[in-house]
Structure 1
């Protein structure tokens, strides 16, 4: 299945929010993401995103782009059009609202239209912490790419954990004591790197599980409240917005760590340790 997600993000100019939104969307394992209200103002803002082969049909209203996905040609047309109640001839009273506010107003502002002849589609509305709009997720019958684990990199946020630093200090002392067993420093260092990597992976997995459990808890809380809203049941709006803010805080904290790692990426080519790593280690 090819998964298409459309979502309103209410601005991506802030680097931390942008990283948090992209990390959140990346965890959804979607294939095509359509973003509204990115609020990019100039070339410097746009440099954070890539833009390829977009055709503007009506300035500010209609855009389309063609691309191949797993050998299947897609044409995505984005239309920003006013909503007029008099033209809503089909399903005027059905659920499926994608926008609402604290005063109880609700509207269907977000749509995905698919050409005729498609079968086996699945569509679901999902709450979004980044906006007052819901996300619309559609699965189409086309094979998507297989997702792999990617390359391992040290989670440098672990260096801010006192427990990790103490444990690593003990690990380092143990590994350093093995130096006489090797014929050279290079041979010892190659073995030490493997031990250090295994140690860091173990601690990173634990930290990731704890972080993931917290994100899952608030995601499920938000989904529960969102479901009550869609069924027309009463919901504490403060609790609903509070769940969004809590999820936003968790994801932005994760995004800050990811952004920091990205800034170090050029220095971390191959297996060479970074100056930051040694400075942080010495400071501890």
Structure 2
């Protein structure tokens, strides 16, 4: 967990390439129990030194290489803050090394690796931006490697339900008419690519055009289906026989698929009169001649 305070210490060690001296200095730094240790004149000279010294330290080690007899600056970071280290910058003379620490005051990391080298925000609450947040706190749980996250919200006086996200009706992708129209449209959109600075910007625009095209196609498709449905209804109503409704159960025009007229010969034995049936995803509407 990121601490509320940050402790640092600086020390000129006048060389620590020798193993006995280096280990005593590192042990001394551990006893100080600080977050960051700044060391000068370490005489660190290569990457292999970084690997060995960091193992002996047990945390993060960042260095600007000098020679075996001069320079060599080192920053030691405690294991509990290794996850906070961002960009590392250094010179080529072994005099300057700079690290960027991403610190969040108050402790907002809820999961911690047992050795303290890694922490993360794995447990989160998501709420609308307009939802006021009154208080968020973290409670340590000794029975888990996660901390408990407690959120208390001040509820607004009223809730405004916003428009939901648009979702493509994947059924239209199977229709040949949609495929043909889409291919023609897409070729036109491809011709616009030179007008955009790069392919990514062009694709963002095309995604918006695809959405608009799919919406228009679905609207026209629904209009055509409703028109055909009403046309068949009018044919049945304007026939030579007086038609009455024999059975109407949970019928909904919005859920109705494309209606079809069933030849009367297939049902003549059953009804002995002209028959029209309109089938859909809901129970059928039966119209028979009296």
TM-score, reference length from structure 1: 0.27
Give 1 or 2: higher strand fraction: 2
Higher RCO (CA < 8 A, seq sep 6+): 1
TM-score, reference length from structure 2: 0.26
Give 1 or 2: higher helix fraction: 1
